[in-house]
Amino acid sequence: MKLFGLIKFLELLTAIIGSIYYRKYSHTFLRYFLFLLWLVTGVEFTMWLLKIYEVSLKNHFVYNLLTSVQYIYFLLLYHRTVKSRRYKSWILAFLIIFVISVTVNFIWIEKLMTTSAFSSYTFTVGAVSLIASIGLFLIEILNTEKVLYFQKYLMFWISAGLAFYYTAIIPYIISLHFLPDFRNSDTWTFIIFTLNLVMYVCFSIGFIISKKLSD
């Protein structure tokens, strides 16, 4: 099995670990993070099975829609997590901009409601918005007592994984416009697998060593 095919098993393992430690965050908005992990895992395995049985499906549309749902959830998560009203307003602005850009792109520009093209534009807009939101979150916890036990704070590990993945992947997503063949290379596969590995390891560590979150 190629490295790219192993990613879905990383997702499955992380979702299982998240389920085991679900009580730590079941009473918070992070409970939907676990639902999202299982959704991503379900989609990946479904697409894998459809490919095995040679069922024709425009899977890029599915991934574009799934990616948009992920970005919307993560932006909402950081909007609810930060305490600063100014930071909340900025993250809300990021969310509104992203939703507008997705709607415009899906319907009028790349017309992703009827085609199967991968949307690098909305992916990049979402990634930049998410990275900025994570930055605001990290700046805020640096000024609170949470910085003293950040390694026990689940949101820190989720943020670390997301920040590493999306910061590193943006240049490669943009490069697809200039080097389209790069996406089918072994180098691309190795990079994507490594980024996913680090991100899901961060999530798993957070689930395992974090303390139970307060309301």
Sequential pLDDT tens for the chain (215 residues): 578 889 999 999 999 999 999 999 999 999 999 999 999 999 999 988 888 876 666 667 788 888 999 999 999 999 999 999 999 999 999 999 999 988 887 776 666 555 545 667 788 899 999 999 999 999 999 888 877 788 899 999 999 999 999 999 988 777 766 665 656 667 778 888 999 999 999 999 999 999 987 65
For residue 201, what are the contacts with CB-CB under 8 A and spacing of at least 6?
161
83-108 burial by CB neighbour count: b if 16+ within 10 A, else e?
A: eeeebbebbeebbeebeebbeebbee
Domains of the chain, by residue range, sit at 3-209
Q: What is the pLDDT of residue 113?
A: 54
The residue type found at 166 is Y
Q: What is the pLDDT of residue 123?
A: 86
Q: DSSP states of 183-211 as a string?
A: GGSHHHHHHHHHHHHHHHHHHHHHHHHPP
What's the chain's length in residues? Answer: 215
Q: Residue 130: which of 181, 165, 171 has the closest Cα?
A: 165
Q: What is the pLDDT of residue 109?
A: 63
CA distance 132 to 63: 23
DSSP state, residue 181: G
Tokens (6 digits) for 73: 């959830």
State pTM to two decimals.
0.90
Q: What is the pLDDT of residue 43?
A: 93
Q: What is the pLDDT of residue 111?
A: 61
